[in-house]
């Protein structure tokens, strides 16, 4: 595949992926190459490659030769969160063991920003606050993968997060526990600065299990309605 074909494939992949994440293509909905080709104005070959990539990411599934948007069950969530605990816990532990003085300085700056957001969160939730937290949270985790020197862990967790964030109840869960989420991340930073790998792992494990329980409780509540 030449550079031009790769670019077209990337465009197809990005556009289809966005429609899945924005719920334009809903869980369980069939995805047909010819229809996509017509709607996006892109030939079937790059469409086919884009769908293959999305299937590898877990956003699409193949049932009897037909592709459809993947349906995420509670059992799927359990598997996703088990992997998150193992991988992110390992990253936290390695960070505590490998951090340098420069890393500590960066973490202290992140703690300051997080503390300001925590104070803001005490006055109530807002979309602007949630978006600011998203940026800080992303910066923190990017730093941890660098400290732990594990880009593969970054890629794997990114893929897992796409899968469960797609279920909008996941975003709702993060909104509901925003202040608590900020406080817990401050604790991660402090454990890493202290060089306490076991504490960092334990904090991440508890944080992830609590988040999973929150998501499941929201799902059950919606189901009862």
Listed in sequence order, the residues at least 6 apart from 97 whose beta carbon sits closer than 8 Å to its beta carbon are 195, 197
Q: Are residues 102 and 197 in the same domain?
A: yes
Choosing from 69, 94, 109, the residue where a domain stops is 69
CATH number of the domain residue 30 falls in = 1.10.10.10
Cα–Cα distance between 38 and 33 in angstroms, integer? 9
Q: What average pLDDT does the structure give for the chain?
A: 89
Spatial distance between the Cα atoms of 1 and 110, rounded to a whole number of angstroms: 43
Condensed to tens digits (0 to 9), the pLDDT of residues 31-65 reads 999 999 999 999 999 999 999 999 988 889 998 88
Asked if 219 and 124 sit in the same domain, the reply is yes
Asked if residue 145 and residue 216 are part of one domain, the reply reads yes
**Is residue 124's pLDDT more than 90?**
no
Count of domains in the chain? 2
Asked whether the beta carbons of 83 and 209 are under 8 A apart, the reply is no
3-state secondary structure of 150: coil
Report the pLDDT value the prediction gives residue 162, as an integer from 0 to 100: 82
pLDDT of 153-207, one tens digit each?
A: 999 999 888 878 766 556 667 777 899 999 999 999 999 999 999 999 999 999 9
Which structural domain, as residue segments, surrounds residue 192? 74-224
Q: How far apart are the first and last CA of the chain?
A: 50
Domain shared by 171 and 80, yes or no: yes
User: Domain check: are 154 and 87 in the same one?
Assistant: yes
- Residue 142 sits in the same domain as residue 202: yes
Q: Which residue has the tokens 């602007």?
A: 128
Domain C-terminal end among 50, 69, 88: 69
Same domain? 192 vs 110? yes
- Global pTM reads 0.77
Residue 58 shares a structural domain with residue 95:
no
């Amino acid at each position: 595949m030449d550079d031009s074909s790769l670019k077209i494939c990337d465009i197809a992949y990005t556009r289809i992926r966005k429609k899945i994440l924005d719920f334009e293509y809903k869980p369980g909905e069939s995805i047909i190459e010819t229809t996509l080709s017509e709607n996006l104005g892109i030939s079937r070959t790059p469409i086919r490659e884009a769908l293959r990539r999305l299937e590898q990411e877990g956003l699409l599934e193949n049932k009897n030769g037909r592709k459809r948007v993947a349906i995420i069950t509670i059992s799927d969530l359990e598997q996703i969160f088990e992997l998150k605990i193992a991988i992110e816990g390992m990253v936290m532990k390695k960070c505590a063991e490998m951090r340098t003085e420069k890393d500590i300085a960066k973490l202290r700056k992140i703690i300051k920003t997080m503390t300001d957001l925590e104070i803001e969160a005490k006055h109530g939730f807002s979309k602007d606050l949630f978006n600011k937290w998203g940026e800080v949270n992303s910066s923190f985790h990017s730093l941890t993968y660098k400290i732990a020197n594990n880009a593969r862990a970054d890629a794997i967790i990114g893929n897992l997060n796409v899968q469960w964030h797609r279920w909008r109840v996941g975003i709702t869960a993060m909104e509901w526990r925003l202040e608590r989420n900020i406080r817990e991340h401050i604790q991660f930073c402090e454990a890493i600065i202290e060089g306490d790998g076991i504490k960092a792992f334990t904090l991440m494990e508890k944080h992830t299990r609590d988040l999973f329980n929150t998501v499941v409780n929201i799902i059950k509540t919606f189901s009862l309605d």
